[in-house]
Amino acid sequence: MNPVVSLVAVSVNAPGADLDSWCDRVRLMVKPRRFEHVLRVAQLASDIALANGIDPLRAYTAGILHDVARDLPDRELLRLAPPECPIDSAHPLALHGRAGRVLLERWGYGDAVVLEAVEDHTTGPRGPNGVAMAVYVADVSEPGRGVNDDIRGLALQDLEAALKLAVGSKVRYLRGRGIEVHPRTLRAFEALDLAE
């Protein structure tokens, strides 16, 4: 059995686990290159949060946890987070944020702000959650991606403006290529008053 899948099946009682323990769990769940990305996102999310008056520890924690389900097989993503729309069925990778939240809840993780940030990092924040905003922007602009330096720089000065730029760019990019935009991303786009 794939060791990643077997870890998902284990019920872990960890309400008191510290950040190092959660970090170790994520390291076991993802490939080494993915974990390097996770660390960069966590650091950038913390820096963005600090620059914008948001709890940097929560942002760092959400950054560490955001991709916990990213390397799971499609069938496991679909099991943890049943599709809400045809895009989810056709592209199960889009479910890894929701699946990550479910997995973390099953393991006993309980910070609702961080859980929402994990869930929303793939499609965009659903509301005024500064931690979710910081993680979403950090995920699309962390230096290892080699893109979106402008979004990263802006986020360290004005997170809301950076979020608008990030979500708006994603929607325009997908539409420009004739790719259907996830309904959650469209709702985030409309909530930010970016609709054309």
> Could you report the per-residue pLDDT of 130-156, keeping only the tens digit for each?
999 999 999 999 999 999 999 999 999
Distance CA 47, CA 123 (A): 22
> Could you report the per-residue pLDDT of 34-90, keeping only the tens digit for each?
999 999 999 999 999 999 999 999 999 999 999 999 999 999 999 999 999 999 999
pTM over 0.85: yes
Contact present, 30 and 71 (Cβ < 8 Å): yes
| CATH fold group of domain 15-191 | Hypothetical protein af1432 (1.10.3210)
Q: Where are the alpha helices (DSSP H) in 52-182?
A: 56-65, 74-80, 86-90, 96-106, 112-120, 130-141, 149-155, 159-176
pLDDT band of 6, cuts 50, 70, 90? very low
pLDDT for 14 equals 36
Residue 7 burial (CB < 10 Å; 0-12/13-18/19+)? middle
Enumerate the domain spans of the chain: 15-191
pLDDT for 15 equals 35
Centre a 10 Å sphere on the Cβ of residue 158 and count the other Cβ atoms it contains: 13
Please give the structure tokens belonging to residue 50: 């600090």
Please give the structure tokens belonging to residue 177: 């290529």
